[in-house]
Amino acid sequence: MQIGGTDLTITAKAIRDLTAEGCLGGPIGCRDYVEAEVTRGKVSQQITLYTPQTEVQREQNVHRAKVFGYEITLIALQKKQVVLNIEK
C-alpha cells in the first residue's frame, strides 16, 4: 500500500495473530506480529512489529520501527488486518 503524504510503500509479508486464533500460551505467550517490507524509491527494508502484551514489551518498543526517517507504530492487529501509524 502506498502511504499518502509520504514516499513510502508498505507491503505486509506475514501476519500472525495467534491471540485471535486461540494461542495455548495465553496473551503473553502469543507473539502476534506483522512482517512488512518498507520501500522508498528502489530501496527496501524489512521490519517486524510485535503487539506488546505487557508494559515491559511496550517500553521496549516492540511495536515500533524507525525506517527512512519515519517512525512506524503497530496500533492494532486483528484477524489479518493491520493498523499502523506513520510519523515523520
The 10s digit of each residue's pLDDT in 7-24 is 999 999 999 876 666 665
| pLDDT of amino acid 18 | 67
| pLDDT tens profile 46-80 | 999 999 988 999 999 999 999 999 999 999 988 77
Domain span including residue 81: 8-87
- Model's pTM, two decimal places? 0.86
Sign of the CA dihedral with 60 first, then 28, 38, and 7 last: negative
Q: Is residue 1 part of a domain?
A: no
Q: Is residue 2 part of a domain?
A: no
Q: Is residue 30 part of a domain?
A: yes
| pLDDT of amino acid 17 | 79
User: How many domains, the chain?
Assistant: 1
| pLDDT tens profile 28-48 | 566 789 999 999 999 999 999
Entry field: residues in the chain: 88
Q: Is residue 43 part of a domain?
A: yes
76: β partners = 83
